[in-house]
Amino acid sequence: MGSTNPPAAVASTSGASVAGAGDDDFFTTPSPLQARPSFSTAGGLDVFDSTSSHSSAQHSPGTKCKRGALDHKCDTLAEAFYRSSIDTLQICLQLEQERTRHERMLETECTKREEMRIQHKREEKECDERIRARDRDMVMEMVRLLASQASGEQDARQNTSNNNNTDSSFNLPAL
């Protein structure tokens, strides 16, 4: 048999082997059940990873080297993803801590404002009480002054009346 058998070449690209085409290991491709998709390329074409134990290419040093490089790339990507996840979680934690700190500051400010409002109300109440007390004291002082003035006028009238009574022959009752 010749090495360039056209039916064998067609068979190797279509995924089927042709009986009597020569070495089965060389021209056999894995069946769809033996091939599994490992990842998709950017163009949307699936790249298949052969899991066939019959393939001699799987055991070759070149394939092992490629698989090792692929494993290394996968490990590198996994490590980068892991680091990125950690960084993302740290950023989320920092944001949450900042939000909590901000909420505490707002609560503290609200508490201070409430305390100041209560203090202001207390001071206003005390001021109003002092003003009412002064007003009461002023009214009482005015009543005393008016009472003393009325008493003084009454005394003056009585004195005038007594003076007039002593001069006259009859006494008028004091008012």
Confirm whether 15 is domain-assigned. Answer: yes
Does pLDDT of 35 surpass 80? Answer: no
Q: Could you give the count of Cα atoms lying within 13 Å of 48 in the half-sphere of its Cβ?
A: 12
Structural domains of the chain, count: 1
Q: Nearest Cα to 1, choosing from 63, 60, 18, 163?
A: 18
Q: Nearest Cα to 59, choosing from 16, 23, 25?
A: 25
Confirm whether 115 is domain-assigned. Answer: no
Residue pair 7/21 in contact (Cβ under 8 Å)? The answer is yes
Does pLDDT of 100 surpass 60? Answer: yes
* pLDDT score recorded for residue 151: 80
Q: What is the pLDDT of residues 52-77, one digit of tens each?
A: 444 444 556 566 667 778 888 999 99
Q: Nearest Cα to 50, choosing from 73, 75, 25?
A: 25
The whole-angstrom separation of Cα 77 and Cα 71 is 10
Where would I find the beta strands (DSSP E) of 3-153?
35-40, 46-50
The whole-angstrom separation of Cα 58 and Cα 72 is 18
Cβ atoms within 10 A of the Cβ of 21, count? Answer: 19
Confirm whether 143 is domain-assigned. Answer: no
The distance from CA 164 to its chain's CA centroid, rounded to whole angstroms, is 97
Where would I find the beta strands (DSSP E) of 41-166?
46-50
Report which of residues 49 and 132 the model is more confident about: 132
Confirm whether 171 is domain-assigned. Answer: no
pLDDT, averaged across the chain: 72
* pLDDT score recorded for residue 56: 46
Confirm whether 4 is domain-assigned. Answer: yes
Confirm whether 8 is domain-assigned. Answer: yes
> Strand pairing partners for 47?
39
* Structural domain range at position 13: 1-36+47-59
pTM, rounded to two decimals: 0.36
> Strand pairing partners for 39?
47
Q: What percent of the chain has pLDDT over 70?
A: 52
Phi then psi for residue 30, to 5 deg, are -65, 150
Confirm whether 17 is domain-assigned. Answer: yes
- Give the pLDDT mean for 8-30: 46
